[in-house]
Amino acid sequence: MYPRRVLAVAFALVATLATVRAGAWQEAHEASDDVDIRVAPDGVAAVQHHVRWRVVHGPLRWIDLSSFEVGPDGVEPSIEVTAEDGRKLSAHVTAVPDPRRDAKHDEVREPGRDVRAIRIEVDEPKAFMRGTFTFEVRYRVDWVASHALAIDGPAWRLTWSGPVAVDGLDSTRVTFDFPAAPEEPRAILADTGAVDDTAVSALRREPTRDVLELVRPHVAKGDPITWTVRVDPRSLAGVVDPRLRPPSRAKLPEEPNRVLGASLAAVLAALGVALALLVLHKARAFGADCAANGAEARGLLPFSPIARATLAGASLAAGVGLQVLDPGDSTAGAALVALATMAAVIRPVASVRARRGAGRWLAIRPNDAFSSVRRGGHWLDLDSPAGRVSAAVAVALLTTLVLVASFAGRTLDPRLAWWLSLDATAFVPIFVTGRGSSLPPDGSGAGAAWLAKVFDRLRSSAALRVAPWLRSVAQGPSSSPGQARTPEGDELRLLVLPRAATPGLVGIEVGLAWNPTPVGWAATPRVLVRVVERSPAATRVLQAVPSIRTTFGRHADERVGTMSPRAPGVRGTTALVRDLVEALTDRRQEARAYELPERRVTLASPVAGEGGTRGAAQQRAAASSATPSC
């Protein structure tokens, strides 16, 4: 009896003292897996899984993802976890053997495909006691190296598989983000290649991307998430693998189009010769005008006219030829066109007006004064009427060619119109440089056309006496035997006097002041009032224009004031002269001036003697006109 009791007590003690702590039960399962795949043009895909696990009772220490394809770099080691209440948790990746990979699987596995299984271990298991947690798993995979892409007729076939569903999933979503292509990506059946009409899909086409969203309502336990997508090869333009893009068969070199080449050469030669002839013709015509005015014509490039014309024509032809033969690189062609433009430019004439010597101011006939007005002009000079007509015709022709090139560029090259507009700049210097305004003033002929317009406006008033006023330096030959010789002068003005002038008024003169500018010579209208010092006319001038400043005139007791019209044109100058005449008219003698007969001196001769129509002060001015004028 005692041994039995001892044995029973021993068993009771062992059962009491040898027990261990019982473990609590755990329950967790995978709820869903949403995948976002962004594909680069070279076929490298950036994959991001949003794996959601529901923990019924924890703690959750790890989860396993098996049998999915990753790149050689593997999965990013850091895993971001988001709880359903928004808390951010952390986990890390640990590689484990894939239970689905066996020796037979390794033998049939395609080269380059890396099928792995990973374990994601959480850093704080106690934080995963209950709720839904989203694990963000990121990795990259090269579909070209892994042979996920294959040729499917004119398109490519993409086969993609995700991790195996451990417990079965409901409503999995996969989004493929491809570069934009003419043909849209579509889900197909793997065995037949036909479009999978049963797939729940949504396609969003953007200017640069095509986004295909595929939804599978249910994935059975132990099955991978697999999709087959047909892709346009133009979407993955960076893929150059010969397996996907086999080299085309070598073709025999085609016979060059000799007719097209000969036509292009003839057009380029004609274009270059045309520009060269225009540049040479303009250089010679402007050089002749410069020689007549005692100046020298110079080009922007320091070469002779023949050399500049040859350089301009050759550069334009070569530049246009490079633009046509090598459309991808038009820099060299544009540089040659710019060189042709520079070769066609004529620099403004650099001339210094010589100091004037002694001369006499004479009243001459209007026909003699304005006979030097140029009615025509060179047809390449934009300052002349003929030149403006030529420029208008050239602009109209260029506009027509640009419009034709714009319509033809839709089928040939859209840059054709731009090239035509750029190349036309080589002809612009022919019209805008080497103009008449670039020449220095040519004595009495300078501004004669402008003074003729002012003369026509002023002589229409019966209260004025207007005559051309020439500074004579010599007597030219007479136009016919028995007639007085025509005076030659270096400056032309208009002398204006009211019929009833205030005592002391010598005259009102209208002229042009010439100033050199970087592009030529510019003329500014000037109105001069000459009065005798301390005379009634001088007082009225100061009353009418208080701000006028006077200087010494042609003799000791004469003062001259210079004014400029507010509007530097014919109308503004005429208005200023009329205002001065109104202020310097003697109203007491105005009625008598119209009753007395008018006495004139002989035109084209010096005004002298007591029988002239001017007052004593004007006679003294004529007597002293041999001295240099102000």
pLDDT in tens, 362-416: 888 888 888 755 544 688 988 888 889 999 999 999 899 888 888 876 777 778 8
pLDDT score recorded for residue 212: 93
pLDDT score recorded for residue 105: 40
- Which helix (H) or strand (E) is 263 found in, with range? helix 258-292
Region 425-441: mean pLDDT is 87
Domain map (residue ranges) of the chain: 27-235, 258-351+369-433, 443-476+485-623
Residue 103 has pLDDT above 80, yes or no: no
pLDDT (tens digit per residue) in 227-270: 999 999 999 999 988 888 887 655 556 667 788 888 889 999 99
| Per-residue confidence band for 602, with pLDDT thresholds at 50, 70 and 90 | very low
Region 285-309: mean pLDDT is 88
Give me the percent of the chain exceeding a pLDDT of 70: 81
pLDDT score recorded for residue 297: 85
| Per-residue confidence band for 75, with pLDDT thresholds at 50, 70 and 90 | confident
- Which helix (H) or strand (E) is 308 found in, with range? helix 305-325
Query: What is the three-state SS of 571-603?
Result: HHHHHHHHHHHHHCECHHHHHHHHHCCCCCCCC
| CA 564 to chain centroid | 41
pLDDT (tens digit per residue) in 116-132: 788 889 999 888 889 99
pLDDT (tens digit per residue) in 519-565: 777 889 999 999 999 999 999 999 988 888 889 988 889 999 999 99
Quote the tokens at residue 2.
């005692």
- Which helix (H) or strand (E) is 131 found in, with range? strand 131-142
Angle CA 234–236–239, to nearest 5 = 115
Give residues with Cβ within 8 angstroms of 434, minimum separation 6. Answer: 282, 283, 285, 286, 297, 346, 380, 381
- Gap between the terminal Cα atoms of the chain: 162
Quote the tokens at residue 315.
């550069």
Residue 482 has pLDDT above 90, yes or no: no
Give me the percent of the chain exceeding a pLDDT of 90: 36
Residue 612 has pLDDT above 60, yes or no: no
pLDDT score recorded for residue 351: 57
Residue 107 has pLDDT above 50, yes or no: no
* CATH topology assigned to domain 27-235: Immunoglobulin-like (2.60.40)
Q: How far apart are CA 139 and CA 45, in angstroms?
A: 9
Q: How far apart are CA 178 and CA 188, in angstroms?
A: 16
pLDDT score recorded for residue 506: 92
Residue 205: CB atoms within 10 Å: 12
User: What's the whole-number average pLDDT of the chain?
Assistant: 81
Residue 613 has pLDDT above 50, yes or no: no
Task: Count CA atoms closer than 13 A to 106's CA, side-chain side.
Answer: 7
pLDDT score recorded for residue 60: 87
- Sheet containing strand 209-219, strands side by side: 62-69, 115-122, 88-96, 78-83, 131-142, 44-57, 27-39, 169-179, 209-219, 200-205
pLDDT (tens digit per residue) in 312-360: 999 999 999 998 888 767 788 899 999 999 999 998 876 555 667 778 8
pLDDT (tens digit per residue) in 32-62: 889 999 999 999 999 999 999 898 888 888 8
Region 165-170: mean pLDDT is 78
